[in-house]
Amino acid sequence: MALPTAQPCPVCTSELVTLKINVDGHDLIMCSCQTCDTRTWELAGEDINLEAALDHVGTHAGRRRRAGV
Ligand SMILES: [Zn+2]
């Protein structure tokens, strides 16, 4: 399975770190910038907001986890 192509950060243009999580058969993707700490989320190829993403993860896992440090 190929990883998504690294995207540039929309804020500082550094390379984003992409983390892909499968939630109930949907691909939840977090793009995180290590330079400016910007994070974007996508679900099934569409941008979603962070609260919606956490809601999906929380529902699936039964608890919340902090992404990154
Ligand atoms: Zn950035």
Residue 53 domain-assigned? yes
- The edge-to-edge listing of strands for the beta sheet with 17-23 is 17-23, 26-32, 39-43, 46-48
Closest by Cα among 53, 4, 2, 10 to 33 = 10
CA of 25 to the centre of ligand 1 (A): 29
- Cα angle vertex 51, ends 67, 63, to 5°? 55
pLDDT: which is higher, 1 or 15: 15
6 in any annotated domain = no
Q: Quote the ligand 1 centre to 32 CA distance (angstroms).
A: 8
Instruction: Give domain status of residue 33, yes or no.
Output: yes
> By residue range, what is the domain housing residue 22?
17-61
Q: Confirm whether pTM is higher than 0.85.
A: no
Ligand 1 centre from 15 Cα, in Å? 8
Q: Residues 24-36: pLDDT tens digits?
A: 888 888 889 999 9
Q: 16 CA to middle of ligand 1, Å?
A: 7
Average pLDDT, the chain: 78
Kindly state whether residue 7 falls inside one of the protein's structural domains: no
| Domains held by the chain: number | 1
**Residue 68 in domain:** no
| 44 is a domain residue | yes
* Ligand 1 centroid, distance to 5 Cα (angstroms): 16
In a domain, 69, yes or no: no
